[in-house]
Amino acid sequence: MLRDTLTSFLEWVQGIGPWGGVLFAAAYVPAAVLFVPGSLLTLGAGFVFGVTKGTVIVSLGSTAGAAAAFIVARSLAHDWIARRVARRPTLAAIGRAVETDAFKIVLLTRLSPVFPFTLLNYAYGLTSVPFRTYVLASWIGMLPGTIMYVYLGSAANSLATLLSGETPPSAGRQALFALGLAATVAVTIIVTRRARRALNEIVPLP
């Protein structure tokens, strides 16, 4: 059901011209608030808009979505989110660690793939981290993963293949594109591993 809805949405934004990018970025806000997996949208952006434009659109949209969920947790759904976070000791520990070094903790958790994007947005809304610090650190920390997923999405041959989770075939792709994709994935892995090690020194990870 979700994949069918995403497929229809992607086909629609692909066919409406320049406004497609604006509406695609705007879609990240309700998606983040409603716990829709951001990875599928990011892959779709790569397929529809290409690497450069897709990265810009996703970066703006995902940051706006993260900000929206943060505000919801801080103002409207504090008790409900607090109960969910309490079930995850690691998230609770992050809430304590962020009191002393907010920017660093937010940045490292955004770089690490261990933490789910949507729940982390809400979890930070329960902490004392300043909104501007949270938004800036989130934007920077999410960029490597954004570039990788957009790049992967741009390599898909069709939306059906992309959203089915199948690996896009490499036949017919230029060697330069393959090299660029490999470099993007390698850099992302290195960055996330280093972030995980650094974060583990502060907050034990599962």
Quote the number of domains for the chain: 1
Tell whether 103 is covered by a domain. Answer: yes
Most confident of 58-62, 79-83, 138-142: 58-62
Residue 105 burial by Cβ neighbours in a 10 Å radius (0-12, 13-18, 19+): buried
| Average pLDDT value over all residues in the chain | 78
Q: What is the pLDDT of residues 119-178, one digit of tens each?
A: 888 889 888 889 999 999 999 989 988 888 898 888 877 776 666 655 444 443 445 455
pLDDT at 92: 67
CA dist., res. 89 & res. 48, Å (int): 39
Mean pLDDT, residues 59-83: 87
Euclidean distance between CA atoms 85 and 104, whole angstroms: 20
The percent of residues in the chain predicted with pLDDT above 90, rounded, is: 23
Whether residue 195 contacts residue 104, with contact meaning beta carbons closer than 8 Å, is answered with no
Q: Is the pLDDT of residue 118 over 50?
A: yes
- What is the reported pLDDT for 176? 43
Residues spanned by the domain of 93: 2-200
The pLDDT tens digits for 15-44 are 888 889 999 999 999 998 888 878 888 988
Rounded to two decimals, the pTM is 0.76
Q: Is residue 75 part of a domain?
A: yes
Confidence of residue 185 (pLDDT cuts 50, 70, 90): low
